[in-house]
Amino acid sequence: MSIRTFELANKNGIAMTVTNYGCAIISLRVPGKDGKTRDIVLGLDNAEDYASKAHPYFGSICGRVANRVGNARFTLDGKEYNLEANDGPHHLHGGLVGFDKKLWTVEEVAANKLVFSLVSPDGDGGYPGKLVAYCIYQLTDDNILRIDYRAETDTKTVCNLTNHSYFNLEGHDSSNIYNHEMQIFADKYTPVDETLIPTGKLADVAGTPFDFRDVKLVGQDIDAAGGFDHNYVLREEGVAASVYSPVSGIRMTVKTNSPGMQFYSGNFIDGTVQGKGVTYQKHSGFCLETQFFPDAVNKPEFASAVVTADCPQEFYTKFKFEW
């Protein structure tokens, strides 16, 4: 197996570049209302760089469990499992060599569809069970980037797959995301402690900087929020978020059947990562990571990220673009 690069395109001028290393979306070019096509995701120069350079999960698939597992451990059927701690005492995005740092098998290549698979052996990163993950990217002619996630296991285990693309609808080389008009269709979020582990409560967004029920500029309350890095409790299957850039005229609508969505405003990007001719800075891009709630494996009150041999996990995320 080797690191490969693929191009998907649709008939309306959207095109994307993807590598099988971490299933990373390297670029996503979308036309704007001014007729100019912009690359709207942060990324590195080429596929090889994803394997050799440190980067904050640009465009990659995170797993086996995306987001944080508190104190890097969990208990399943009375047995404790210890995971790699790579975020202080916690486990983040699958540990030191998460799914973003694996070379995925290319199962299918078509003009508008890519199918990747990954075998995660029993004990991988500390997780029980041999898990087979699938990531399917489709770029449709109705301007939807659809991502399907599937996880099959031979033994009861936990799994939470997401894509970690950083978007900037003004273009990846634009300075920041403050002028994006954001709407998140959630009444509640999961408050966190100072190490970003949820307290277990579901709190109302009303009266907090996290309230995006009505359209609000990302920059308006970003300081009051201490930067966004929070999981939203989605109301129901369907529209999770809608984001618009008055600069490009591009609107991105996110739909999913996942219970939660992490809104991350690129708080940890610090001017040390360069890609595609740009030095990325704090708040250069935002992520809308559809997923189970963080630390769900330790929070019985959260929707369960457990997957069994009888019941594979299946989730989708659709990013629809209009201009």
Q: Using an 8 Å Cβ cutoff, are 131 and 153 in contact?
A: yes
Q: Using an 8 Å Cβ cutoff, are 196 and 229 in contact?
A: yes
* 59 Cβ contact partners less than 8 Å away, ≥ 6 residues apart: 22, 24, 25, 26, 41, 42, 43, 163, 164, 165, 166
Q: Which of residues 186-205 bind ligand GLA (CB under 6 A)?
A: 196
Task: Quote the least distance from Cβ 33 to ligand GLA, whole Å.
Answer: 29
Binding mask 99-138 for ligand GLA (x = CB under 6 A): ----------------------------------------
Site size toward ligand GLA, by CB under 6 A: 11
Chain Cα centroid distance, residue 208: 24
Distance between CA atoms of 295 and 32, rounded to whole angstroms? 38
Among 16, 61, 92, 115, binds ligand GLA (CB under 6 A): 92
Binding mask 38-57 for ligand GLA (x = CB under 6 A): ------------------xx
Task: Quote the least distance from Cβ 280 to ligand GLA, whole Å.
Answer: 11
Distance between CA atoms of 107 and 116, rounded to whole angstroms? 5
> Using the 8-state DSSP alphabet, how is residue 213 labeled?
S
Cis amide prior to 64 (ω within 30 degrees): yes
**Exactly one of 90, 152, 230, 289 is catalytic; which is it?**
289
Q: Rule CB under 6 A: say whether 295 interacts with ligand GLA.
A: no
164 annotated active-site: yes
Burial letters 197-230, b for 16+ CB under 10 A, else e: bbeeebeebeeebbbbeeebebeeebeebeebbb
**Exactly one of 91, 164, 172, 283 is catalytic; which is it?**
164
Q: Rule CB under 6 A: say whether 67 interacts with ligand GLA.
A: yes
Q: Rule CB under 6 A: say whether 229 interacts with ligand GLA.
A: yes
Distance between CA atoms of 249 and 240, rounded to whole angstroms? 20
Closer CB to ligand GLA, 143 or 164, in the complex: 164
Q: Rule CB under 6 A: say whether 287 interacts with ligand GLA.
A: yes
322 annotated active-site: no
Closer CB to ligand GLA, 28 or 196, in the complex: 196
Region of 34 on the Ramachandran plot (φ > 0 left; ψ -120 to 50 alpha; else beta): alpha
Closer CB to ligand GLA, 286 or 323, in the complex: 286
Residues assigned a catalytic role: 164, 289
Kindly list the residues in this chain that would bind ligand GLA in the complex (CB under 6 A). 56-57, 67, 92, 196, 229, 262, 264, 268, 287, 289
